[in-house]
Amino acid sequence: MERRKQIEIEHYNQKAKEFRGGQTSALLASFKFAYKLLKENCQNKLVLDYGCGNGAHTVSIAKMGAKKVVGIDLSEKSLDIAKSRAKKEGVGDKVEFLKMDCEKMEFPDDFFDVIFDGGTFSSLDLKLALPELARVLKPQGVLIGVETFGHNPIANLKRKLNKLTGRRTDWAARHIFLKKDFKEVENYFNEIEVYFFHIISFLAFPFLSLPGGKIFLEFLELVDRILLSVPFLRKYAFKIVFIFSK
């Protein structure tokens, strides 16, 4: 196995050990919108949670009405948490968790109706990941994702600090999705829809667990909606939500 993958696995195994429960992403406008898209598309469908981590999204998708959700990841510690979460949430019969490389999946061609990416791209080599995603997605299927966008200078500075403090690996810090990466996406997907979120509202993320944190976030997201109505500013969104199809 490549050293970069070993480092990512070690990083996320350690994060799993430090996991204390809770999930703040569901509070964010970006994830709320992605979940809306998922709910519209996953009814009675076979869904892949691509890079499932601790299974938070896997469980949520199962509760939305998916026929079955398969979560894959290389972090065994994260998968242990995911399995426990699914059992606790009462969806153990609708989900399956597999240790699997996202860049070299073991599924047949044209296998999944829907694929969800909850921010896995930065840990991967897109030149290897995208053809695999296109391969296992059915011809009429959809890939729905939420990714960090790499053009916001404040977020980029914070990312460098996170790398120095060990909160992010060097590979992940250097492989945030960029505007130019859509050229690679176009090699495998004919239809591309992109939505932009969080020009300034990401500044509220560290305070969501504090009194007034949610109100602060809602106010900044309101400001963001105004800012993002200006096409030029969309490049500086902290998150994008996308829908790719073949």
Domain ranges, residue 70: 3-17+24-245
The pLDDT value given to residue 86: 96
The pLDDT value given to residue 21: 66
The pLDDT value given to residue 10: 93
| CATH classification at residue 118 | 3.40.50.150
The pLDDT value given to residue 46: 98
Residues 212-245 as b/e (b if ≥16 CB within 10 A, e otherwise) read: ebeebbeebbeebeebbeeeeebebbbbbbbbbb
Instruction: Give me the number of domains the chain comprises.
Output: 1
Which residues does 239 contact at the CB level (< 8 Å), separation at least 6?
A: 28, 30, 146, 147, 148, 149, 196, 197, 198, 202
The pLDDT value given to residue 1: 84
> What is the residue whose two structure tokens read 């290897």?
128
The pLDDT value given to residue 16: 83
Token pair listed for 109: 């061609």
CA neighbor of 224 nearest in space, from 209, 193, 208, 203: 203
Task: Divide the 246 residues of the chain into consecutive groups of 10 and give the mean pLDDT of each group.
Answer: 92 84 82 97 98 96 97 97 96 97 98 97 97 98 98 92 89 95 98 97 92 95 97 97 97
The pLDDT value given to residue 22: 61
The pLDDT value given to residue 106: 98
